[in-house]
Structure 1
Amino acid sequence: MLGNEKKYSESLFNRATLAKQLEQTDLEWDVIVIGGGATGLGVGIDAASRGYRTLLLEQADFAKGTSSRSTKLVHGGVRYLAQGDISLVYEALYERGLLLQNAPHLVHVQPFVIPSYSLWDKMFYGIGLKVYDWMAGRYRFQKTSLVGKDTVINLLPNVRRDGLKGGIVYYDGQFDDARLAVNMAQTCVEQGGVVLNYMRVEGLVKDQQGKVVGVEACDLESGRKYKLKAKVVVNATGVFVNDILQMDVPKQHPLVRPSQGVHVVVDRSFLKRDNALMLPKTPDGRVLFAVPWHGHVLLGTTDTPLNENSLEPTALETEIDFILHTAGQYLERKPTRQDVLSVFAGLRPLAAPTKDAGSTKEISRSHKLIVAASGLITITGGKWTTYRKMAEDTIDKAIAVGKLVSRPCNTTNLRIHGAVSEKSNILKPLLYYGTDAAGVEALVAQHPALGNKLHRSFSHIGAEVVWAVRHEMARTVEDVLARRLRVLFLNAKAAIEMAPQVAALMAGEMGKDEEWQQEQVRDFIKLANRYLLEPYNSAAPAAVNHI
């Protein structure tokens, strides 16, 4: 511990305190949610905010899988409009507006530029995006405009100029996905729910009639086993829904087929401005984005059907080459492998077709809600933007399945933890903490050494690591560098160099020894090298004094 200020053990979002509630063997939960990604956390918030006794269990860290590996867009889905999925676009545009309203510290309006190399494309996409604006109604961000060649070059200085006819400027949303997930977990607890990471569900509990009446879970930190009772169990495990379904009915047909999306991260100089590049149709028919994010640029994404799931999927060389090659066709300065700072892959949980399909274009992006004969509820498909609506539909169904006292959904105007209306008093590096920024600043005021930067290339300071442990349930160096500070996703080499210092700060806060620190650093270096095109093992020695 650092001093006599409010202790980690006193935090509302404290894992040990929350886990104690599982020791009440006679306790029956109204709703147990399996899965701590966007969908599961949304379901947890909805259930808890309606007053139901809610427990959420995540086998790893919150948003460890798909939910931390998105394109960082809160959007209606321009591509879905082109495919004629009008209802999905309407729903997503409405939910996009609610996210900006309820999590303004993490969601902001992002201008996009579509460069046009034919007048037909300019008119076609321009009209389509005018319709996109109209569909958003009162939740429209800003008005789409058709612009000339000089304006496009001004907005995207690195855009390919040969053959450029002009372009379209439109507006969508951008956010920090893993940070939002952490704040959602905190929101669920504030609403009376219990959420726990590193708590793996290993089986379903059934009564004599074959109805699901609970789960068997294992605390991966302590090894302790639990048998937990519930009126209704929700399977919200993303690409892992099939695993839970097979605990219910072994060998049943898969409900989900994963599709891999890969992103390549390069320096912000490839865009130079804060405008994003959107290519609605690449030569092979895909969509490609170049999006500014946390001072870097994300290039992606791919759409590759897979048959296997993983918490740490690996980008294929063909996917990396596709992204670099395609981006290079539209940029004057072409990104190369030497420019890549990090590569990350994520698996989208797409509802699987009943027949074998080689393309994910044939797999639905809409969410699906299924109730098994055992009463197990499974929610799958969908996307980050629509998590709130997915949760509302799920709990509406849970009320009927679990015979819960009916209560209306109230998440439409429920502000997410950290939401702040006025950002002017928050230091820029801490903006995404929202109302929690004052707490981070207070740590620095009490212990000035915690104001030191963790790395020359990033603004992050030691106080953020302490805050992550005390108030954001970070348990490992990976939790901090991947999902609390996001450095692993932005610059994997820098993350490796930060690892020893982060481990030392965490050890001082959590009461861990030198062996724990060394193991954490070794494990993190091994992981981080999966985000690099060439191995890198140079981690500077820790130089942190425990205060």
Structure 2
Amino acid sequence: MTKLAVGSLFIVAGGFAFNSYVNRVTRSDGKSTIKPFVTHLPKPPSRDELLRRLGRPISSDEKKHVSIKDVQSKFDLVVIGGGAVGTGAALDATLRGLKVLLVEKNDYASGTSSKSTKMAHGGIRYLEKAVFQLSKVQLDLVIEALHERASILENAPHLAICLPICIPVYKWYQVPYFYAGCALYDMFAGSQGIRHSYVMTRHATLDEHPQLNPNGLVGGLVYHDGLFNDARMNVALALTAEQHGATVLNYMNVEQFLKDGDGKSKGVRIRDIDSGSEYLVGADALIGAAGPYSDLLISMDKSENGLPDPEALSHPRMVVPSGGVHVILPEWYCSEDQGLLDASTPDGRVMFFLPWQGKVLAGTTDVPLKKVPENPVATEQEISDILGELQHYVKFPVRREDVLSAWCGVRPLVRDPSTVPEGEVVASTQGIVRNHLVYELPNGLITITGGKWTTYRQMAEDVIDYTIQHVSTLNERFATRPCTTKHNKLVGADSYDPTFFCRLAQQYHLTETLAKHLASNYGDRAPIICELFLRYPRLKAPIGLPRPEGHDYSYDDFKYPFTLAELYYCLDYEHVRHPIDFLARRCRLAFLDANKALNAVDEVVDVMARRYGWSSSKKTQMKQEATDYIEEMGLVPNKTSYGKVE
């Protein structure tokens, strides 16, 4: 204990001395210019235009005997998977000059990339493990993530903000211990630091967090990390790659790898989920960025005919699947300006309670999964565990009925499949380091998985570096092209500044809530939505507004700033194909309030049916798909993480 105290005091002193370096203050030089609003942009390529780049669809007869010789188009690179890493890799490769095709089986961010803790962070819990386990691997992971955190904040300032996070302290001896850890965290961020950590008194802590249980409270330790909108950032990555020339397509499933004469994977047979049309595409290299589903692609590379092993996800070798559940609670469960960190849960994890999109995000759990579920869901037990942990800190009752939404994401914890004995089962995932792995299969598939959202850019850089270095045809042409994504702003960031919402409110006569919502989700593209308000006033109506007959409106009907104009914008500019794309991943309503999202399904389906010319049966199918998805977000009790597919 004496050594711990001396060590903590030493680190505290060092951290305090480092304060002037890390705690940089940005001041206006008075010379910044305000760029005019962008009120019109050319629409991105249509679905049909993008599909034409793949060549003609193959006929039913051709499907029976496909060959690499039958490809209808050729790309330098095909990226499989439209999550954070896949879209990040597509952007990186496109900026280097490669001709890139990205295909995603569902929607962008439909998997783990929309179900994170929404934090751009180094991982303060990993730092603790690095110190106490003397683990250089853990420390390297923290330092890498801290530097990548700065890149996210710089490249997508409309989607990512700095958030103070308070660690409530209930024992005096914990103050130097926690401060020492936070000081190290600041120090390892170096010049990429955000703001310096500090201690709050008991009274200041309760002023900021009045919901906290005051009994025994000593004070609070505040450190800083990034908070962001994960699904919208994922979409921004896809749109930015497309803006620079990549062909990006959602709802395109890779049915088969096409092999050359040497058995190498040099193309794909892909199917349009909505139309059923299939295309044969060749490539110099295939990159698998499927996250938890990587083992399925690995099985396709291994097989002689390029077809997947249907049991690959039931017995994964590369991915160690772990389910992480989060819940959304009303705004009164947390401060509007600071998050909370529970640093000492019974099973050794940490728990976050964060203000996000006007609500409170709480999580996460860490439950090993025997197989990779197609549609993971939050179980009642995990929801109960999160609420029980929150009750330790909140002085009023924490109620299950306060849960507005809940979801489960599958962490793609990774191991080298060549070192894994057949049939080995991992009983716990807590000891597995959250680093990433670039792995080349014998037949040429290059897989990238592991890591976490914050390090997506570095993961993308690593896999593109590896691909160019090890694929001779690409090395000859692109070896001298460096990665440029470190400081490459994403769609929506170019003309954005922190006062953007103020100017929106002034020019378009918006409420502060609506102006902030549009600015912080669409950045400098928000005026395009506002122009729709002017041209079509009915589009300013909230999504899912109850019909006037026999309904007395209340504040609750208008509490969310999601409008019809936003839906029309996303249909025009953001490749929304299914209603759940909009309700869950563009406007995030399903993640914020599942009941409200259910109320909006009919209206969204009607608008999309008119746009896409859906038949009555197609409308019914889309409505059912959206309803099933939303109901499993905490509205119906789920006994297992596998939901209805179990």
TM-score computed with the length of structure 2 as normaliser: 0.79
Letter in 2 for 1:425: R
1:17 aligned onto 2:49: yes
Q: Which residue in the other structure is 2:487 paired with?
A: 413
1:458 aligned onto 2:560: yes
Q: Which residue in the other structure is 1:448 paired with?
A: 537
Q: CA deviation at 1:203?
A: 1.4
Q: CA deviation at 1:516?
A: 3.4
Q: Which residue in the other structure is 1:276 paired with?
A: 339
The CA distance in 2 between the partners of 1:16 and 1:144, in whole Å, is 52
Aligned-pair identity (%): 38
1:384 aligned onto 2:429: no
Q: Which residue in the other structure is 1:428 paired with?
A: 516
Letter in 2 for 1:368: L
Does the CA-based 8 Å contact 1:46-1:391 persist in structure 2? yes
The CA distance in 1 between the partners of 2:343 and 2:238, in whole Å, is 34
Larger Rg belongs to: 2
Q: Which residue in the other structure is 1:350 paired with?
A: 413
Q: CA deviation at 1:320?
A: 1.1
Structure 2: unaligned runs, 5 residues or longer? 1-38, 57-70, 131-137, 304-308, 505-514, 546-556, 638-646
Aligned residues: CA RMSD? 1.8
Q: Which residue in the other structure is 2:123 paired with?
A: 77
Q: Which residue in the other structure is 1:256 paired with?
A: 319
Letter in 2 for 1:530: E
1:402 aligned onto 2:434: no
The CA distance in 1 between the partners of 2:281 and 2:606, in whole Å, is 36
Residues 253-288 of structure 1 show CA distances to partners (whole Å, capped at 9, x for unaligned) of: 610011100011110011143211111221221110
Does the CA-based 8 Å contact 1:500-1:517 persist in structure 2? no
Letter in 2 for 1:378: T
Aligned length in residues: 529
Residues 140-171 of structure 1 show CA distances to partners (whole Å, capped at 9, x for unaligned) of: 11110012111111121111111111120111
Match 1:37 to one of 78, 83, 90: 83
1:504 aligned onto 2:536: no
Partner SS for 1:531: coil
The CA distance in 2 between the partners of 1:505 and 1:411, in whole Å, is 36
Letter in 1 for 2:122: G
Does the CA-based 8 Å contact 1:232-1:401 persist in structure 2? no
Counting only pairs closer than 5 Å after superposition, residues 281-360 of structure 1 correspond to structure 2 as 281-352=344-415, 354=420, 356-360=425-429
The CA distance in 1 between the partners of 2:452 and 2:467, in whole Å, is 21
Q: CA deviation at 1:64?
A: 0.3
The CA distance in 1 between the partners of 2:625 and 2:287, in whole Å, is 32
Q: Against the structure 1 CA distance between its residues 282 and 124, is the aligned structure 2 distance closer, same or farther, given a 3 Å change threshold?
A: same
The CA distance in 2 between the partners of 1:306 and 1:320, in whole Å, is 17
TM-score computed with the length of structure 1 as normaliser: 0.93
Q: Which residue in the other structure is 1:142 paired with?
A: 195
The CA distance in 2 between the partners of 1:153 and 1:506, in whole Å, is 47
Partner SS for 2:485: coil
Does the CA-based 8 Å contact 2:239-2:574 persist in structure 1? yes
Match 2:591 to one of 476, 489, 513: 489
Match 2:100 to one of 54, 68, 78: 54
Q: Which residue in the other structure is 2:442 paired with?
A: 373
Point out the more displaced range, 151-160 or 16-25.
16-25
Point out the more displaced range, 15-24 or 203-212.
15-24
Letter in 2 for 1:65: G
Does the CA-based 8 Å contact 2:448-2:459 persist in structure 1? yes
The CA distance in 1 between the partners of 2:325 and 2:485, in whole Å, is 32
Q: CA deviation at 1:74?
A: 0.5
The CA distance in 1 between the partners of 2:381 and 2:617, in whole Å, is 39
Does the CA-based 8 Å contact 1:42-1:184 persist in structure 2? yes
Residues 209-263 of structure 1 show CA distances to partners (whole Å, capped at 9, x for unaligned) of: 1211111111111111111100000000000000000111257861001110001
Does the CA-based 8 Å contact 2:72-2:280 persist in structure 1? no
1:125 aligned onto 2:178: yes
Q: Which residue in the other structure is 1:63 paired with?
A: 109
Does the CA-based 8 Å contact 2:293-2:372 persist in structure 1? yes
Does the CA-based 8 Å contact 2:378-2:634 persist in structure 1? no
Does the CA-based 8 Å contact 2:91-2:241 persist in structure 1? yes
Q: Which residue in the other structure is 1:541 paired with?
A: none
Q: CA deviation at 1:371?
A: 0.9
The CA distance in 2 between the partners of 1:13 and 1:330, in whole Å, is 50
Q: CA deviation at 1:378?
A: 0.4
The CA distance in 2 between the partners of 1:142 and 1:287, in whole Å, is 22
Letter in 2 for 1:44: A
Does the CA-based 8 Å contact 1:503-1:517 persist in structure 2? yes
Residues 358-409 of structure 1 show CA distances to partners (whole Å, capped at 9, x for unaligned) of: 1111222000010111111000100111111001010011102322121111
